Amino acid sequence: MSVGPVPAAPPTADDLAVRGVRCTMLRGGTSRGLYLEAADLPGDPAVRDDLLLRLLGSPDPRQVDGLGGATSLTSKVAVVGPSAVPGVDVDYLFLQVGVAEATVSAAQNCGNLLAGVGAFAVERGLVPAGHAETSVRIRMVNSGEVATARFPTPGGRVDYRGGAVDAGVPGSAAPVVLSFEPAAGGPAVLLPTGRRVDTVLGVEVTLVDNGMPVVLARAGDVGLTGRESREELAADAALLARVDALRCAAGELLGLGDVRTTTVPKTVLVAPPRDGGHVLTRSFIPVQPHAAIGVFAAVSAVSGLLLPGAVGHELAQAWPAGTSTVDVEHPSGHLLVDVVVDAAATPPRAVRAGVVRTARKLFDGTAFPRPPRRGSAGPTCARADPRPCSASWRASRPPAAGSAGRTAIPATDPRTCSPSRTATSSASTGSRSGTPRRPAWNPR
């Protein structure tokens, strides 16, 4: 009887400290991160997360002993591997690595790093390249949804050169067209509370979830014009405290429980456009002002604006009819998103969303992590729920069709979580009433 090859055991932390780990650094959209194959990482999520902290140089505000860039936008990791889901090419797990804190969170997705996943998969041989362009279907492990990335591959090779521009990024690169599919079973509701307007701490908000749970508010209702620079916002301690209080109170309404130590929900403030776009935005991640706006935060905010009666819908009424493309102004420039919602449905639902981003490979090689500290407690999980991060507010979501309930790439192991507070019972069910809710189709 012939015996096939025995699969290689996952590398240990000690192995990787000596021989390093192969990784690629790409700029995706307005973020930058390390892209690694799942097979090159330890199989135990707790050991993996500790390795990632040492690769990025955390915890350290400067990340001087690692590959992080000392900001949340440059302390990110994409873990990519073959998908077991029929019709899907690769699985992509996004991990947000703390800068000054020893945290690794899978509580949200990242549309910026998503822009580089397809090219990474082709360059690593996980997906064959097309002759002129390639489309890669990507399951986002954090949420279970599927996105398609389409990008040029002239002559069967990834070409990062092109004329597309991401505002806030110098130069140009090849366009990456991202389109998002509704979850299996059809799109879910956009409004987790069932209301188009909620009043939170005296501020009218729309709590919308179509790519990212977002607290949507008018800039004028918190004493701003919406034209403030990122630096002005960052220097306003009273404003940041108010934004934090607003999102924490909204987190309870969204069924997320205590969100003080998590990265969601995000807050997006809107105002009339000033530079030829359709809406002016200032967003917070989750408390510090964003230099631009996240892909999924923009999609959610625009989805809310399109609903009659929602906060800021008066801005959308001035948009040209017959087009689904919305020009979102932000501190660094503009972001074009394509969003269609069915506002007449009961409840309103997402129909389609997409965006054009760019990505560029910065290096491919071997990275050497800081040696592990013996007896280290390891990373903590930046949330209060002791279940795996990817389950924290998506517990009611069914597994993707054909996955048999399996997750090819594990999210954060619950053993690494160090909850500082006890989550409310509503957080584990996804709603305040205790009835499980399925968030909107959410490619987070």
Residue 238 CB partners (closer than 8 Å, separation 6+): none
Question: What local confidence, expressed as pLDDT, does residue 320 receive?
Answer: 87
Q: Give residue 325's pLDDT band: very low, low, confident or very high (50, 70, 90).
A: confident
Q: Which of 295, 312, 347 is the last residue of a domain?
A: 347
Indicate whether 165 and 38 sit together in one domain: yes
Q: Give residue 108's pLDDT band: very low, low, confident or very high (50, 70, 90).
A: confident
Question: What local confidence, expressed as pLDDT, does residue 41 receive?
Answer: 95
What is the chain's Cα-based Rg? 21
**How far apart (Å, rounded) are the C-alpha atoms in residues 137 and 148?**
4
Least confident of 96-110, 114-128, 180-194, 253-267: 180-194
Indicate whether 233 and 271 sit together in one domain: yes
Indicate whether 413 and 303 sit together in one domain: no
Question: What local confidence, expressed as pLDDT, does residue 129 receive?
Answer: 98
Reply yes or no on whether the pLDDT at 14 is more than 90: no
Indicate whether 62 and 180 sit together in one domain: yes
**How far apart (Å, rounded) are the C-alpha atoms in residues 89 and 259?**
33
Average pLDDT over residues 430-444: 35
pLDDT tens digits for 419-428? 333 333 333 3
Indicate whether 49 and 79 sit together in one domain: yes
Q: Give residue 441's pLDDT band: very low, low, confident or very high (50, 70, 90).
A: very low
Reply yes or no on whether the pLDDT at 439 is more than 90: no
What is the 8-class DSSP label of residue 397? P
Is-contact 401 184, C-beta < 8 A?
A: yes
Indicate whether 146 and 20 sit together in one domain: yes
- More reliable by pLDDT, 164 or 313: 313
Domain CATH for 47: 3.10.310.10
Quote the mean pLDDT of the chain.
84
- Residue 192 belongs to some domain of the structure: no
Indicate whether 148 and 48 sit together in one domain: yes
- Residue 7 belongs to some domain of the structure: no
Indicate whether 233 and 377 sit together in one domain: no
* Structural domain that includes position 26: 13-185+360-426
**How far apart (Å, rounded) are the C-alpha atoms in residues 336 and 75?**
25
Angle (CA) 60-55-367 rounded to 5° is 140
- Residue 3 belongs to some domain of the structure: no
- Closest by Cα among 241, 256, 185 to 398: 185
| Percent of the chain's residues with pLDDT above 90 | 68
In this structure, the strands spanning 175-180 and 146-152 are: antiparallel
Torsion of CA 269, 273, 276, 278, to 10 degrees: 60
- Residue 224 belongs to some domain of the structure: yes
Indicate whether 255 and 383 sit together in one domain: no
Is-contact 57 369, C-beta < 8 A?
A: no
Question: What local confidence, expressed as pLDDT, does residue 366 receive?
Answer: 97
**How far apart (Å, rounded) are the C-alpha atoms in residues 166 and 337?**
12
Residue 3 CB partners (closer than 8 Å, separation 6+): none
Q: Which of 347, 379, 407 is the last residue of a domain?
A: 347
What is the 8-class DSSP label of residue 216? E
Q: Is the link from the previous residue into 399 a cis peptide, with omega within 30 of 0?
A: no
Question: What local confidence, expressed as pLDDT, does residue 182 receive?
Answer: 65
- Residue 354 belongs to some domain of the structure: no
Indicate whether 321 and 256 sit together in one domain: yes
Number of separate domains in the chain: 2
Helix 111-123 vs helix 295-305: crossing angle, to nearest 10:
130
Is-contact 49 77, C-beta < 8 A?
A: no
**How far apart (Å, rounded) are the C-alpha atoms in residues 428 and 437?**
10
Q: Give residue 380's pLDDT band: very low, low, confident or very high (50, 70, 90).
A: low
Global pTM value: 0.70
From first CA to last CA, the distance across the chain in angstroms is 47
Average pLDDT over residues 316-339: 91
Residue 131 CA neighbour count, 13 Å, CB half: 0
**How far apart (Å, rounded) are the C-alpha atoms in residues 304 and 21?**
42
Indicate whether 240 and 160 sit together in one domain: no
| Percent of the chain's residues with pLDDT above 70 | 80
- More reliable by pLDDT, 93 or 353: 93
pLDDT tens digits for 272-298? 999 999 999 999 988 999 999 999 899
Q: Give residue 415's pLDDT band: very low, low, confident or very high (50, 70, 90).
A: very low
- More reliable by pLDDT, 119 or 371: 119
Average pLDDT over residues 27-42: 96
Q: With 0-12 CB in 10 A as exposed, 13-18 as middle and 19+ as buried, what is 117?
A: buried
Reply yes or no on whether the pLDDT at 352 is more than 60: yes
The dihedral through the CA atoms of 81, 85, 89, 92 has a sign that is negative
The pair of structure tokens assigned to 391 is 């389950």
Reply yes or no on whether the pLDDT at 429 is more than 90: no
The pair of structure tokens assigned to 143 is 């949420």
Indicate whether 322 and 412 sit together in one domain: no
Q: Name the E strands within 238-385.
A: 266-271, 279-284, 325-330, 333-342, 349-367
What is the 8-class DSSP label of residue 104? E
**How far apart (Å, rounded) are the C-alpha atoms in residues 420 and 383?**
8
- Residue 433 belongs to some domain of the structure: no
Average pLDDT over residues 164-180: 91
Least confident of 55-64, 257-266, 303-312: 257-266
Reply yes or no on whether the pLDDT at 399 is more than 60: no
Q: Give residue 211's pLDDT band: very low, low, confident or very high (50, 70, 90).
A: confident
Question: What local confidence, expressed as pLDDT, does residue 434 receive?
Answer: 36
Question: What local confidence, expressed as pLDDT, does residue 410 receive?
Answer: 65
Reply yes or no on whether the pLDDT at 156 is more than 60: yes
